[in-house]
Chain A
């Protein structure tokens, strides 16, 4: 019995699961703002190449009946999306020129 959080075949992403398997956008955004660019770059470098494989794997399951480890993997992909603009575009956790603005996502689909 595996104690891993992620499905078989994603062991290389396991070191990031505890920090980045986060179910809500609000919590993912908060984690991003609390993270350094070095932390996000490390996660991005490991996770980005796994995105196509993760999408293909997850599509084998009904979206609303994902087993727990698949759900974790989906949340990990969401976190990759959350850190992608800081890594690819902004080069900082906050959006450039966003001033004092903060948007609260209070409703979102599950999963």
Chain B
């Protein structure tokens, strides 16, 4: 007898037949051996977002980015020629970490004309060239030109700075991003200079938290309190109306909480703080007065399903970067940096056009506070999931069609690792 349920050909999952609809193993999130493979197969081959161009406002601006997953630290800087470059943060003399904050374990940032090693005073230009060696005459057959900082491939797209740690990347950044992600091009990211940044050290594999933010099936249950008590129900689900996959990347697009944008909810269905300030989880009720943020003028790739109403497009950029755009005229980013097979460092930033008065700033604050608290609920499940997986009681998990993005991420990770094991060179298209 045929099993009842959704036919695969009519499902989001069925559009990607290579993924199948079978049970999914989470061995990729609990195996230390798999983590070692991921470091090489994914984090040393994919393009990784490391910062925004606004963090390098002038010639000589720099920041360091410590990448535990690749066992390295980077210096990202804007040179005297205005060009953005990245280098391994390692002095060519005796291998000391060149720049750090309070301790060698801390990142740092600032503006300078040269980078000087704290150990013996070797100095490097913003282009990585070795400029000064203390007592150079004491060295043997020595030419400073032979000892520049070790460069890292670095490209800027829409103000997002990406690096690639491969000797020779298999794809350019634009090829890697592909048409779906590049559908964001033209969004006025440069106007969003008011930023709130958070970080956390979390007790799960990096992919477990990605999974938590790449489906909304969990929303009515884990975030049930987003509804006022009279409307709360554990029986009603949440159906995302548009999923899309392109290469290793994913897109989730929706109309908002249960399809209704929060700012259009009747006041008696809001919490008092939302109604009093005109702001909440999905942003201030009023969109900034910036023509480029009018949905009619947005790049078509931002709401590719043409949803109406449309509230959120959530771009999951492989491997560990998320850009989430809100129809209310702001965006946030998530990034997940593995620190071991069972832990990761997480970063989140809210980006708004600068508040022009106290009321606007207060509305941004409401969104940054309320949204963080929903995020804490998502993060609250992580170590429980990691513990459950590591018990190894279960080796196959069913994922529904609303979790197609979860299935896709694990399939892509598996594909990259397999490709690496096959030949160690090829990056899948």
Tell me the A residues contacting B by CB distance below 8 Å.
Answer: 25, 48, 51-52, 55, 58-59, 61, 63, 66, 74, 77-78, 80-82, 84-85, 88-90, 95-109, 111
Q: How far apart sit A25 and B369, CA to CA, in the bound complex (Å)? A: 9
Query: In the bound complex, do residue B369 and residue A85 qualify as a contact, i.e. CB atoms below 8 Å apart?
Result: yes
Q: Judge whether B277 is part of the interface by a CB distance below 8 angstroms.
A: yes
Q: Judge whether B377 is part of the interface by a CB distance below 8 angstroms.
A: yes
Question: A111: nearest residue on chain B (CB-CB)?
Answer: B361
> Assuming A59-B358, A77-B362, A88-B271, is B379 touching A99 (CB within 8 A)?
yes
Q: A82-B369, A96-B377 are in contact. List 19 more A-B contacts (CB 8 A).
A: A58-B357, A58-B359, A80-B273, A84-B271, A85-B271, A85-B369, A95-B380, A98-B376, A99-B383, A100-B203, A102-B200, A103-B372, A104-B198, A104-B199, A105-B198, A107-B349, A108-B196, A109-B194, A109-B195
Question: B366: nearest residue on chain A (CB-CB)?
Answer: A81
Q: How far apart sit A95 and B222, CA to CA, in the bound complex (Å)? A: 12
Query: Which listed residue (A59, A80, A85, A111) contacts B370, Cβ 8 A?
Result: A85
A22 CB, nearest partner CB in chain B, Å: 12
A104 CB, nearest partner CB in chain B, Å: 6
Query: In the bound complex, do residue B273 and residue A74 qualify as a contact, i.e. CB atoms below 8 Å apart?
Result: no
Which chain B residues border A98 with CB–CB below 8 Å? 373, 376-377, 379-380
A to B CB contacts below 8 Å, 15 in the list: A58-B359, A59-B357, A61-B358, A63-B355, A74-B358, A84-B273, A95-B380, A98-B380, A101-B382, A103-B379, A106-B197, A107-B196, A108-B197, A109-B354, A111-B361
Which chain B residues border A95 with CB–CB below 8 Å? 373, 376-377, 380
> Assuming A95-B373, A104-B199, A109-B195, is B383 touching A63 (CB within 8 A)?
no
Q: Judge whether B384 is part of the interface by a CB distance below 8 angstroms.
A: yes
Which chain A residues border B362 with CB–CB below 8 Å? 55, 74, 77-78, 81
Query: In the bound complex, do residue A109 and residue B382 qualify as a contact, i.e. CB atoms below 8 Å apart?
Result: no
Which chain B residues border A106 with CB–CB below 8 Å? 197-199
Which chain B residues border A58 with CB–CB below 8 Å? 357-359
Q: How far apart sit A61 and B359, CA to CA, in the bound complex (Å)? A: 11
Which chain A residues border B200 with CB–CB below 8 Å? 101-104
Query: In the bound complex, do residue A96 and residue B196 qualify as a contact, i.e. CB atoms below 8 Å apart?
Result: no
Query: Which listed residue (B198, B272, B368) contacts A88, Cβ 8 A?
Result: B272
Which chain A residues border B361 with CB–CB below 8 Å? 63, 74, 109, 111
Question: B270: nearest residue on chain A (CB-CB)?
Answer: A88
Q: Judge whether B419 is part of the interface by a CB distance below 8 angstroms.
A: no
Which chain A residues border B365 with CB–CB below 8 Å? 78, 81
Query: Which listed residue (B195, B349, B357, B379) contacts A63, Cβ 8 A?
Result: B357
* A-B interface contact total, Cβ < 8 Å: 122
Question: B363: nearest residue on chain A (CB-CB)?
Answer: A55
Interface centre among A48, A63, A74, A106 (most CB of B within 10 A): A63
Query: In the bound complex, do residue B196 and residue A109 qualify as a contact, i.e. CB atoms below 8 Å apart?
Result: yes
Which chain B residues border A63 with CB–CB below 8 Å? 355-358, 361
Within 8 A of A (CB), among B340-371: 348-349, 354-359, 361-362, 364-366, 368-370
Query: In the bound complex, do residue A101 and residue B277 qualify as a contact, i.e. CB atoms below 8 Å apart?
Result: no
Q: How far apart sit A25 and B195, CA to CA, in the bound complex (Å)? A: 13
Q: How far apart sit A107 and B355, CA to CA, in the bound complex (Å)? A: 16
Q: Per-residue CB proximity of B164-205 to A under 8 Å, as 1/0?
A: 000000000000000000000000000000111111101100
Query: Which listed residue (B196, B348, B349, B380) contacts A100, Cβ 8 A?
Result: B380
Question: A83: nearest residue on chain B (CB-CB)?
Answer: B273
Question: A86: nearest residue on chain B (CB-CB)?
Answer: B373
B65 CB, nearest partner CB in chain A, Å: 15
Which chain A residues border B364 with CB–CB below 8 Å? 109
Query: In the bound complex, do residue A81 and residue B277 qualify as a contact, i.e. CB atoms below 8 Å apart?
Result: yes
Query: In the bound complex, do residue A109 and residue B272 qualify as a contact, i.e. CB atoms below 8 Å apart?
Result: no
A61 CB, nearest partner CB in chain B, Å: 7
